[in-house]
Structure 1
Amino acid sequence: MSYQNVHSGSLVNFTIKINELVKENKTFVLCDTNTKICLEKIDENLIFSNSEKLIIQSGEENKNITQVVKIWEFLNGHNANKNDFLINIGGGVICDLGGFAASTYKRGISFINIPTSLLGMVDASIGGKTGFNLNHLKNNIGTFSPAKMVICDADFLDTLPNDELKSGFAEVIKHALILDLNFWNQIKNKSFENYNFQDLISKSIDHKLTIVECDPLEKGPRKKLNFGHTVGHALESYFMSKDKKLLHGYAIAQGMIIESYISYKNNLLNLENYNEIKRFINSIYSQIKLSEYELNSLINLMTNDKKNELPKISFTLLNAIGDAVFDQYLSKDETKKLMLDFIENG
């Protein structure tokens, strides 16, 4: 698996690279009802500007097998063959769904990711993870299949509302917390309105590629990228089951606070670092209040997390800001006790 063909910059600057990659093969474009507006921003000289296009419903609630079947039927109906390309233009949902459909159609066709959200640019489009949700469980079905090319153009961020930008920014925070104290100090000392997002995207891409290149199938250090996601994915799944909207990044932000607290209570992270993390994240994201009743549902969801390898719940925790440790296992009872303590004292 190779992840090197990831680029940050204006899409129009990569027209020749895209054309050289695709050559004379057919291309098919996938986007959703939110990101179809981005098609208008795509340079007319790109090889897929006249391609057949499929527009599916947007939103995490539509990240399911029904949409995957639609993509397969779209490709099949237009006689896509093994040499053709699927072009995914959209956020994390489109990159995940499109990547999965491409990786399984005729046992795998090539795809290109052109993420249009900050979340897609710094996380979902990079690293080869594809998939969809099953019975409200996040990404419970999926493959490892890297895109042939990824192009992250910050100009697309102009189409995003502020809450979507903040959702993607949570993954930037995660990269700093697990890998880079200097990067953490850089982002925590600026207000959200003053960030240079192209710089943040480039830095996050570098951090993620460093990890996935050495561990493409998540057998070791790549598990560090799961920080905040054990609790965060459970929150997302719980909200989906109640037909309530919770953006991925907002769930992960809360997950990072709780998992930082667990790190502190397990004598890994010091109290000063925990409070620093909590203050910064709470300055950007609204807190999610949890009841004991909801906590029981979250614990049950965490026991079904795809990351678990033992009859316990798997966490990535922090030794310090910029230093993460993976394969930290807690029982259901231990997890519940710590999360109850967080609700009362965190």
Structure 2
Amino acid sequence: MSGYASYIHFTQQVKQDLQEALQTADYSALFVLVDDHTRQHCLPVIAAALPAGYQLITIRPGEEHKNPDTCRHIWTALTEAQADRQALLLNLGGGVIGDMGGFCARTYKRGIAFWNIPTTLLAQVDASVGGKLGVDLAGYKNQIGIFSEPDRVIIDPVFFKTLPHDELLSGFAEMLKHGLIADADHYRELTGIDIKQADWLSLIPRSVKIKQDIVAKDPTERGLRKLLNFGHTIGHAIESYLLLQQRPVKHGFAVAAGMVCETFLSYQKGLLPEADMLNICDYLLAMFPPLAIDNSALAAIADLARQDKKNTSTTIQAVLLQAPGQAVIDKAITAADIRQALAFYQEKIK
């Protein structure tokens, strides 16, 4: 498709496209990174395209395993297999696989090539473009990482056939975010579909294009790219808190809750009309499962938001809305604002 980064390929025949790409690629050895789930459900889809002698690296699934210990496992596997700098790592999985696999590839021997075949909606519309690689540390999301684009991304909705509904819904949250920050028509289109019967091959490229256009103008998140963090200042804090409480939730569900909170703050700060705020919040609350948070946790979540990478040393910075499809960056919010927004969210889900 025209207008997209050259490394991104949309297809309905992932096995054939992968086979052709591997036949023309220059690499010394192929390693395929999977988790327990993608090894069972996704590897069979592409197995016939893989050359004899490829080596499989398997990790445990879930955000709770996106950490330096798992990186050590991946690096050790590459080292024991004597992978050199011409090796290729193929990441087959969701956002955790793509983020961590890419990070391990770019840091192993100062960098080897990696390709992503994202198998979740979240990974296809979010991790497929932007080059953010990394892992969590001590409960903080993506605390360690780098910017580096994949060498190739192959996107095929075929993997959604075995994708649980909550994984599909999690990715849908990021698509809604793209519409809310930059494309009101896309947001309205998304709110009118049934995700169980969606034409993903037409919807995903548009969402990817929104993110790609923003990233192209600000690759290392010094300004405009911060728009993509709408819902994440509070959403990441919620996700981190629940992970620390041994209650991991889907990333998209936390982002949806964060979007409700930050939409509310957009209204509170006089940026967003009340009618727009209520329409957006009501839709998100109806679409995504509620995340129960005790009042006693509000201060802890607000404190976690201070660790957000967009912040200055003394100020929590958020992305707020002026209208559907229009957002502003670097809006200062306080811990008290976050507690108020979380209280609003809790009241709405009762």
TM-score range, shorter chain: over 0.9
SS of 2:287 mapped into structure 1: coil
Shift in Å at residue 210 of structure 1?
0.8
SS of 1:184 mapped into structure 2: helix
Distance 2:30 2:315 in 1: 44
Matching of residues 19-30 of structure 1 within 5 Å: 19=22, 22-30=25-33
Matching of residues 120-131 of structure 1 within 5 Å: 120-131=123-134
How has the CA–CA distance of structure 1 residues 109 and 3 changed in structure 2, closer, same or farther, with 3 Å as cutoff? Answer: farther
CA contact (8 A) 1:314 1:328 kept: yes
- Give the percent of matched residue pairs that are identical in Structure 1 and Structure 2: 38
Shift in Å at residue 316 of structure 1?
0.7
SS of 2:234 mapped into structure 1: helix
Question: Which residue of the partner structure matches residue 8 of structure 2?
Answer: 6
Question: Which residue of the partner structure matches residue 152 of structure 1?
Answer: 155
Shift in Å at residue 291 of structure 1?
3.1
How has the CA–CA distance of structure 1 residues 24 and 102 changed in structure 2, closer, same or farther, with 3 Å as cutoff? Answer: closer
Shift in Å at residue 189 of structure 1?
1.7
Residues 1:319 and 2:322 are matched in the alignment: yes
Distance 2:62 2:348 in 1: 34
Residues 1:64 and 2:67 are matched in the alignment: yes
Residues 1:329 and 2:344 are matched in the alignment: no
Shift in Å at residue 45 of structure 1?
3.4
Question: Which residue of the partner structure matches residue 48 of structure 2?
Answer: 44
After superposition, the C-alpha distances for 1:208-254 in whole angstroms (9 at most, x for unaligned) are 11111111101111110000011111111111111112111111111
After superposition, the C-alpha distances for 1:79-110 in whole angstroms (9 at most, x for unaligned) are 11112111100001100110110111111111
Distance 1:320 1:138 in 2: 28
- What stretches of structure 1 of length at least 5 have no aligned partner? none
- Farther off after superposition, 15-24 or 193-202: 15-24
Question: Which residue of the partner structure matches residue 262 of structure 1?
Answer: 265
CA contact (8 A) 1:96 1:124 kept: yes
SS of 1:278 mapped into structure 2: helix
SS of 1:42 mapped into structure 2: helix
Q: State how many pairs are aligned.
A: 344
How has the CA–CA distance of structure 1 residues 13 and 179 changed in structure 2, closer, same or farther, with 3 Å as cutoff? Answer: farther
After superposition, the C-alpha distances for 1:247-287 in whole angstroms (9 at most, x for unaligned) are 11111111111100000111111111111111221222122
Distance 2:90 2:176 in 1: 28
Distance 1:16 1:291 in 2: 51
After superposition, the C-alpha distances for 1:141-161 in whole angstroms (9 at most, x for unaligned) are 111011000111100111111
The one-letter code of the counterpart of 1:261 is: F
Question: Which residue of the partner structure matches residue 282 of structure 1?
Answer: 285
- Farther off after superposition, 332-341 or 218-227: 332-341
- What stretches of structure 2 of length at least 5 have no aligned partner? none
Shift in Å at residue 5 of structure 1?
0.8
CA contact (8 A) 1:117 1:157 kept: yes
Distance 2:165 2:53 in 1: 31
After superposition, the C-alpha distances for 1:96-148 in whole angstroms (9 at most, x for unaligned) are 11011011111111100001111111112321001111011111111101100
How has the CA–CA distance of structure 1 residues 201 and 328 changed in structure 2, closer, same or farther, with 3 Å as cutoff? Answer: same
Question: Which residue of the partner structure matches residue 143 of structure 1?
Answer: 146
Residues 1:173 and 2:176 are matched in the alignment: yes
Distance 2:205 2:284 in 1: 21
SS of 2:143 mapped into structure 1: strand
Question: Which residue of the partner structure matches residue 296 of structure 2?
Answer: 293
Residues 1:188 and 2:196 are matched in the alignment: no
The one-letter code of the counterpart of 2:152 is: M
Distance 2:119 2:45 in 1: 11
The RMSD of aligned alpha carbons is 1.8
Shift in Å at residue 187 of structure 1?
1.1
